[in-house]
Amino acid sequence: MGEVTENTVAALADRVISDRKGVTADEAVMLADAPLEVLLKEAARITESSASRRFDTCSIINGKSGRCPENCKWCAQSAHYRARIREFPLVGTPKLIEAAEYSRKKGIRRFSIVTSGKRLRPSEISQLCDSVRQVAERVDIKLCLSAGLLYEADLRAFAEAGISRYHCNLESAPSYFPSLCTTHTQQEKIETLKAAVKAGLEICSGGIIGMGETLAQRMELAFVLKELGVKSVPVNILAPIKGTPLERQEPISDEEILRTVAILRFILPEAALRFAGGRARLSDRTVLEALKAGINAAIMGDMLTTVGADIDTDMARIREAGYSL
């Protein structure tokens, strides 16, 4: 492939800004060869023109931990591996209210409950719906849920209880996912997202970069998300955890992370690209460049089994990048 010039990248950005449809798969592949500085500059133009300038903040709580029967290679909560984590059943309502109230006081706009396992049992769904109703009554914050492969009826029950958005990461490209997990399929995840939409919920879905996939496969994932109409896209960076099959995976470079973010913005011009797990290792400069190039949302505070970035530091960086909160 010949050299990708600044004018070519700028022309693509102009078109995306004009029609807000994003680039085609062939154009995305071409952008992979563009100079990084040019790519970041033009992605920033798209972000400023097409994406929300109000930063979408959220936090998560580990609502049920460990002993998951699935064999996802990246996950410390899988019962198949030897990672050392705390294990506990569904947390009680008081703890959920306390965590949601803490997030609200910190200025965070969304609060998500995340549970381990393929799906919740009926008794757990009933218990959690009751907790969600009480949180919704007590705390002025938008509520989200990530609870595995739920059915449409279960998702409707959560929507009626007060959940507004359902999260189910596709994790990686269709061509790569089977090498990362064999106990469920990506199609099951897609069906869950479609069921959530039918239940009246917004959907949130993204993946983890740095698990050995190629840049082309990250683009492949992005186009699946685009086809599903996903507007909230978590971008996790693999944090290798001792005891999991990916514990020795070589970390990807800051430059590769920035290139990925920029190309995602070209593909998904209006989406909330959400920094999630793994970003705590990034330099201040890389975080600021990522914010300008496309990241306009983030999970704040700690993640499920790893320590996150400091909330107050995050808020300062977000304002420095020109976003409102």
Residue spans of alpha helices (H) in 106-214: 122-138, 152-161, 186-198
User: 152 with 199: CB under 8 angstroms?
Assistant: yes
Beta bridge partners of 148: 119
Bin 229: left if φ > 0, else alpha if -120 < ψ < 50, else beta. left
- Domains along the chain with CATH numbers: 53-320 (3.20.20.70)
H or E segment and range at residue 256: helix 254-267
User: What is the pTM assigned to this prediction?
Assistant: 0.93
Name the token pair of 70.
Answer: 């699935």
CA dihedral over 58, 123, 190, 79, signed as positive or negative: positive
Name the token pair of 141.
Answer: 């914050």
Provide CB contacts within 8 A for 76, sequence distance 6+: 83, 85, 241, 243, 244, 304, 305
Provide CB contacts within 8 A for 204, sequence distance 6+: 144, 146, 165, 166, 167, 168, 230, 232, 233, 234, 274
User: 249 with 211: CB under 8 angstroms?
Assistant: yes
Q: Is 145 helix (H, G, I), strand (E, B) or coil?
A: strand
Tens of pLDDT, residue by residue, the chain (325 residues) = 458 899 999 999 999 999 999 999 999 999 999 999 999 999 999 999 999 999 999 999 999 997 899 999 999 888 898 887 888 999 999 999 999 999 999 999 999 999 999 999 999 999 999 999 999 999 999 999 999 999 999 999 999 999 999 999 999 999 999 999 999 999 999 999 999 999 999 999 999 999 999 999 999 999 999 999 999 999 999 999 999 999 999 999 999 999 999 999 999 999 999 999 898 889 989 999 999 999 999 998 765 544 556 788 888 889 999 999 8
How many helices (DSSP H) and strands (DSSP E) are in the chain? Answer: 11, 9
Name the token pair of 156.
Answer: 């409707």
